[in-house]
Amino acid sequence: MTKTMFLPLLLLLLSAAAASTSVSTECTVSTMDDYPVPVRREVYGDGRIFDISHRYTMDMPSWERKDGLGRFLWLPASMKNGSLANNSLMKLPTHSGTHVDAPGHMIDRYFDAGFDVDTLDLEVLNGPALLVDVPRDSNITGVDFLSVACEDHLVSAHLEFFESREIILVEGLKLDDVPTGIYNVHCLPLRLPGAEGSPIRCILIK
C-alpha cells in the first residue's frame, strides 16, 4: 500500500528514498561519564506528533548524482581547534531531501515575477490533512523519489500543478511509518527570497 495525503490546495508526495525506523522518545543518560546522550526521534508525545521529514545524510538521493548528496556540512570553526564556538557551514541544493517547490521552479515567467518560496502561502502549508493507504494499482498514488513525476514527464507534470499558483508541491516526505488518519500538517520552508525551492520541515499532529 502507498500512503497518500489529501489537503486543500496542498499536494504532499511520499518519498521512501531514506528509510527510517521509529525511535523511543525517552532520553537516556550515559553512566560512564554522566553525559546526556541525545535521542533522535521520529515520534513525539506518545504518538501525537510525527516528524515526516527526512534527515539529511551524505548518501541520500540527489538529482543528477549517482553517489548521493555527498558532503554538505562542514565545521570551519571548531572549539577543539581554538574557536570561541562551534559554527557549521552548510551547502546543498534547494531541491534535496524533504523540500518545497515554488511556481518559479518550472515556469520562468513566474520566476522573473518573483514567485519564490518566500511568497508561498503558509495557510496552505499548515492545516488539516488526511493520510490514507492507497493500493499501488490505483490511479491516486504518491511517488517514491524526489519529484512529482518520472524524468519523462518531469516538466509537464510540474507545469500542470504550477500554472494556477494555487497548488504547492511538497516533495520527499517520510510517511511510511505513519498511521492513516486525520491530522494537522505543519510545513515551514526557509525564507529565501529569489529561491525557487527550499528544504522544509514537516510534522503531523493528531
Indicate whether 134 pLDDT > 50: yes
- Within 13 Å and on the Cβ side, how many CA atoms surround 73? 8
- Please report whether residue 84 resides in a domain: no
Question: pLDDT tens digits, residue range 167-179?
Answer: 788 888 999 889 9
Give the CATH number for residue 165.
3.50.30
- Angstrom distance (rounded) from CA 105 to CA 197: 7
The number of domains in the chain is 1
Q: Note whether residue 197 is domain-resident.
A: yes
How far, CA to CA in Å, does 3 sit from each of 14, 29, 127? 7, 36, 18
pLDDT of residue 162: 59
In a domain, 82, yes or no: no
Is 69 within the bounds of a domain? no
Residue 99 within a domain:
yes
Quote the percentage of the chain above a pLDDT of 70.
Answer: 68
pTM of this prediction?
0.72
pLDDT in tens, 23-76: 444 555 555 567 899 999 999 999 999 999 999 999 998 877 888 899 999 999
Q: Does residue 19 or residue 12 have the better pLDDT?
A: 12
Three-state SS at 121: coil
Kindly state whether residue 57 falls inside one of the protein's structural domains. yes
Domain-located, residue 10: yes
- Is the pLDDT assigned to residue 188 strictly greater than 50? yes
Q: Which residue in 176, 175, 170, 121 sits closest to 147, CA to CA? A: 170
Query: Could you tell me the residue range of the domain that residue 148 belongs to?
Result: 2-64+92-205
77 in a structural domain: no
Residue 167: the pLDDT is 77
Q: What pLDDT was estimated at residue 106?
A: 82
